[in-house]
């Protein structure tokens, strides 16, 4: 778990208690620390951790791996480097090593893999951020657990896209207009889905006041 000393980053006389926006991040130190451990280091180290974590998580029919099975699966990796990766993932609660001597993803590890997989599934022509935010909001909507933060992220992205399209038209540049039109077409389904969710929220008489205000 991380225990950050923010005194050097805050203005003179300001403490973390004076910044309420820090509270949810500090309360989630365990989660934040886990992701820091996943992405800390050189590009090669981070990619190697993501590779191993994703491959382990993709085996739905056989989610538990023996050390020998892992070594065979990653035979193209240096054995020492592989052991180092497994050790780091295990030490930071992304990978679990059960009493039966088998490796498996921890709950946090599976959440990390799921989030990464969702980002990677969007094609290069689409706006990955918009797709991710819309899919996330759709999932929250289906379970009745939409939060003002999740809604604000989507609205911010939609407003950013609107500004991008309007600026392209105002520029009079054929190239920028064609590029904007292509981007709009590629993101059509996410724009439609996001707009649909907003309309559903605005017509729901029982929606939370703060969510309705943001929408």
* Phi and psi torsions of 173, nearest 5°: -80, 120
More confident residue, 136 or 177: 177
Position 183 scores a pLDDT of 81
pTM above 0.85, yes or no: no
pLDDT-based confidence at residue 126 (cuts at 50, 70, 90): low
Beta-bridge partner residues of 97 = 103
Q: How far apart are CA 46 and CA 90, in angstroms?
A: 15
Would you say 2 and 32 are in contact if contact means Cβ atoms under 8 Å apart?
yes
The tens digit of pLDDT for each residue in 88-120 reads 999 988 999 888 888 989 988 888 888 787 777
* Phi and psi torsions of 124, nearest 5°: -65, -25
């Amino acid at each position: 778990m991380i225990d950050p000393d923010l005194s050097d980053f805050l203005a003179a006389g300001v403490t973390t208690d004076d910044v309420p926006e820090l509270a949810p991040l500090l309360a989630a130190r365990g989660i934040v620390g886990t992701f820091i451990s996943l992405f800390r280091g050189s590009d090669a180290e981070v990619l190697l951790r993501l590779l191993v974590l994703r491959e382990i998580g993709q085996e739905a029919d056989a989610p538990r791996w023996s050390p020998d099975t892992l070594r065979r699966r990653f035979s193209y990796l240096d054995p020492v480097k592989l052991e180092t990766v497994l050790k780091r993932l295990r030490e930071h609660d992304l990978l679990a090593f059960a009493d039966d001597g088998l490796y498996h993803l921890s709950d946090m590890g599976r959440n990390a893999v799921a989030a990464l997989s969702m980002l990677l599934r969007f094609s290069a022509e689409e706006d990955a951020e918009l797709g991710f935010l819309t899919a996330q909001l759709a999932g929250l909507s289906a379970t009745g657990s939409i939060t003002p933060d999740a809604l604000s992220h989507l609205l911010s992205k939609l407003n950013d896209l609107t500004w991008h399209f309007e600026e392209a038209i105002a520029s009079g540049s054929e190239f920028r207009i064609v590029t904007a039109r292509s981007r709009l077409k590629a993101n059509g389904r996410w724009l439609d889905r996001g707009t649909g969710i907003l309309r559903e929220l605005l017509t729901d008489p029982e929606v939370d006041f703060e969510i309705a205000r943001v929408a």
